[in-house]
Amino acid sequence: MTLNDVYRKGEEMLLNAHIPDADVDAAYLMEHFFGCDRARLIIHGDENADDAFTEKFFSAIEERKTGKPLQYIAGIWNFMGYDFYVGKGVLIPRDDTEILAEEVCSYLYGKKDVKAIDLCSGSGAIAVTLGKICPDCTVEALEYSKDALEYLKKNIALNDAKNVTAVYGDVTVCCGEYDDGIFDLIVSNPPYIESDEIDTLQQELQFEPRMALDGGQDGLYFYRIITEKWHSKLKCGGMLAFEVGERQSVPVSEILEKHGFEKIYTKKDLHGYNRIVCGIKK
Ligand SMILES: C[S@@+](CC[C@H](N)C(=O)[O-])C[C@H]1O[C@@H](n2cnc3c(N)ncnc32)[C@H](O)[C@@H]1O
């Protein structure tokens, strides 16, 4: 088979399985297994495809047909220019989360000897990006899922983020292990989907860990508990920054207000939803 034949057959198999964006997924897997992007496919598409890579490509297509996310099949995903290992047990870093990562990076950028903690760190997408972009900052990355923690550690090593430390802990209880007033920044993209909504979500999301998604009955459980239990760990003038779900910016802003934060603001994602809520400790 030529490279073109492989690509077209893969796309057709995904289309027949009603996988949305079949062309994009097939192209991604071509690049992943053959190192062959669209431009190369146009120029070299008539060349013979390597048998071993072809076998791997079609076995990935079979996995994708089941709805398994492309990111889990590839095992690696890019977030803000950095690669992250992903797989069963860890949330795939989302494009929307880049808004939060950009905000906290620009908040700490250029500051010396500052300390941050990323609560509910998952793959470490936020913590590692922050550590790389702000090398004078030390970042703790707290995570309670043992599976996710393994990815977090591997991603710190993969990106050689020496100023980032993975910490195992439950965000709802382990704040007692930290002194008051030590952090310049607390950032979190916690689980925020309403418990009852989870089973109704699209097929791909069902492959992701429930623990990464479940934000309790009203989706706000972690915002309440993090703000209540962790605000004393911030320095005065320090920032608390959250990613929020589409309808959560108002209640989350109210939670921050209730705990004495000022200069509370939101920023929108590309779809026009308020995607982050940030506030400054008085
Ligand atoms: C929405 S995911 C965010 C992951 C990552 N920060 C990101 O933005 O891609 C939430 C993460 O919170 C973790 N988590 C859930 N409950 C937790 C708890 N009680 N303490 C610490 N982490 C928790 C999950 O395992 C998951 O990795």
pLDDT tens digits for range 34-70: 999 989 999 999 999 999 999 999 999 999 999 999 9
Distance 191 CA to ligand 1 centre (A): 6
| Segment 266-276 mean pLDDT | 96
Pocket lined around ligand 1, Cβ cut-off 6 Å:
91, 93, 97, 120-123, 125-126, 142-145, 148, 170-172, 189-191, 211-212
| Pair 108, 116: CB distance under 8 Å | yes
| pLDDT score at 99 | 97
Which protein residue has the closest C-alpha to ligand 1 atom 2? 212
- 71, 78, 91, best to mutate for ligand 1 pocket (most atoms within 8 Å of CB): 91
> Pairing mode, if any, of strands 76-79 and 234-243?
unpaired
Q: Round to whole Å and give the CA distance between 67 and 37.
A: 23
Q: Round to whole Å and give the CA distance between 215 and 7.
A: 40
pLDDT at 256 over 90: yes
Q: Read off the tokens for 37.
A: 């992007």
Which protein residue has the closest C-alpha to ligand 1 atom 14? 120
- What is the number of residues in the chain? 282
Alpha helices (H) in the chain, listed in sequence order: 3-16, 22-34, 38-44, 51-65, 70-74, 97-108, 125-133, 146-158, 221-230, 249-258
Predicted TM-score (pTM) of the model is 0.94
Distance 54 CA to ligand 1 centre (A): 36
Which protein residue has the closest C-alpha to ligand 1 atom 27? 122
> Which residues does residue 265 pair with via DSSP β-bridges, in sequence order?
278
Atom number, ligand 1, closest to the C-alpha of residue 122:
27
Which protein residue has the closest C-alpha to ligand 1 atom 26? 212
Distance 214 CA to ligand 1 centre (A): 10
Chain segment 124-167, per-residue pLDDT in tens: 999 999 999 999 999 999 999 999 999 999 999 999 999 999 99
Distance 113 CA to ligand 1 centre (A): 26
